Amino acid sequence: MKAWVTGAAGMIGSEIASSASKWAPDWEVRGLTRRDFSLLDFDAVTAAFKGDSPDVIVHCAAISRPVDCERDPHLARKTNVVATRHLAHLASDRFLIYLSTDLVYDGRKGDYIEEDPANPLHLYGETKLAGEDAVRQHQNHAVLRTALNFGASPRGNASFNEQMHSALAQGKNFQLFTDEYRCPISTTETARAIWELAKLQVGGLFLLGGSEKVSRWDIGKALYDRWSPLPGKIEPASIASYDGPPRPPDLSMKLNKIQALLSFDLPGFHEWINSNPDAVV
């Protein structure tokens, strides 16, 4: 089997590409970065696709930070929607896994299931949802609404745990919401689940995250307590006091649909960090 992983220089794509030797050792896997070609160069994408003829595409590449989407909406739409549509169409008789996001929900309900209606609060979520629509034209493709990922990014500055550590190391205090909930998952577990799905080739919409609902404060406190003392301090806060762009308060999710397909139990946040004491986080 041959696979492409787009966005292989990114936080999640790099983990998926590098863990192929562990989870899909017999596969020929090509991790694609901008150095190969831009996904906006549709002729180059088409030519490479015809040359490699991958059986599976794991599509991670995106403008993935909400702030970058707001700064350049045209680029966000072209990358997250138009390039995704092009790839999904090229691979219409192959299996494509599209990494979407829990940020397609508004966070008012919590305990989300696949059937819950999406209602993104900002452009990033909107473009990812439009990317989903392009992928879902093809029954055989899979869309993963992925929760907040933590872990090590290639440049050491992309994950929330790395950004929090860096701020605290510089002596900055870091506010964490006690009333904003997520189901965080390690990039290593995301990658393992994706390789299993790639082998099963089951299409449809799935939620993928960790099995524990935790507040931002719970997450940050657990990390802070395990790090060597840092000059900055963590401070509890409420999203009610936040005056920035809207934030979904509760993106917790039920994992029954994807869990039924997997050979392993998706771990919760505390379970994962306790069983991986030497991990970068």
Q: CA-CA distance, 105 to 60, in Å (whole number)?
A: 19
Q: Which listed residue (29, 61, 104, 207) binds ligand NAP by CB under 6 A?
A: 61
CA-to-CA distance for 223 and 242, rounded, in angstroms? 23
Q: Which stretch binds ligand NAP (CB under 6 A): 21-29, 36-44, 229-237, 272-280?
A: 36-44
Report helix, strand or coil for 49.
helix
In the numeric block, which tokens belong to residue 135?
A: 């992928």
> Does residue 209 interact with ligand NAP by CB under 6 A?
no
Binding ligand NAP (rule: CB under 6 A), the pick from 40, 82, 222, 279 is: 40
Count, residues near ligand NAP per rule CB under 6 A? 22
- 118 to 157, contacts with ligand NAP by CB under 6 A? 128, 146, 148-149
Q: Which of residues 1-30 bind ligand NAP (CB under 6 A)?
A: 7, 9-13
Among residues 79, 211, 215, 252, the one that binds ligand NAP under rule CB under 6 A: 79
Judged by beta carbon, residue 230 or residue 253, the one nearer ligand NAP is 253
Stretch that binds ligand NAP, among 32-40, 198-206, 233-241, 255-263 (CB under 6 A): 32-40
Cα–Cα dist 173/169, whole Å: 10
Rule CB under 6 A: choose which of 31, 87, 101, 215 binds ligand NAP: 101
- For 134-140, the CB contacts below 8 A with 24+ separation are 134/81, 134/84, 134/85, 134/88, 134/89, 135/59, 135/84, 135/88, 135/96, 135/98, 136/205, 137/88, 138/88, 138/89, 138/91, 138/92, 138/96, 138/203, 139/203, 140/93, 140/95, 140/201, 140/203
**Contact status, residue 95 vs residue 197, Cβ threshold 8 Å:** no
Q: CA–CA separation, 207 vs 132, rounded Å? A: 13
Q: Out of 18, 38, 119, 259, which residue is the one contacting ligand NAP (CB under 6 A)? A: 38
Nearer to ligand NAP, 34 or 172 (CB): 34
Q: Which residues bind ligand NAP (CB under 6 A)?
A: 7, 9-13, 34, 38-40, 60-62, 64, 79, 99, 101, 128, 146, 148-149, 158
